[in-house]
Amino acid sequence: MKKLNLPLSAEQRDSLKAGEMVLLSGVMYTARDAAHKRLIEMLDRGETLPLPLVDQTIYYVGPTPAPQGHVYGSAGPTTSMRMDGFVKMTFEQGIVAMIGKGDRSDYVADLCREYGGAYLLSIGGASAMISNQVKTCEVVAYEDLGTESVKKLYVEDLRVIVGIDTKGQVFQKREIEKYRRA
């Protein structure tokens, strides 16, 4: 299994292959639909975004509150298709990878190829386990959104599967079933 540090370099992104399992360590940001909507509204108004997006990875997650003694609550991925309308904007702002769960609209693979980005699959149903990989968490924007605020996370060995690589190759559902049975 490949271990990569965030932020991902262009060479690292280009080395990813659809279906490959990867362990990620480093800084990533969280954002779901409400935060994406605010980001696009800020861009439409010509405002500076409240976080750096160039070369960053966004994890589509809205964690539960952290239990006592923990950095982060349950951290299962949210359905990525809800963010499909924001993918082009985030790529244009410099995002290089997205992490979530589920299928994407067909055009997302084309956008990954065009912008050299990747879509990574986190494991749904393993949110308590995933939270153990979060070592630090800091709210960086939209605190009023609660669990959907934008957070800066530092993760260690977050396991993901490459869902769409930079060539636009898509990991097929039948292949995912092999991992569920393993």
Residues 7, 27: contact at Cβ < 8 Å?
Answer: yes
Among 54, 63, 86, which residue's Cα sits nearest to residue 138? 63
C-alpha 13/C-alpha 120 separation (Å) is 11
Residue 58 identity:
I
Task: Please list the active-site residues.
Answer: 36
Q: What does each C-alpha distance from 179 to 56, 164, 174 come to in angstroms?
A: 27, 16, 10
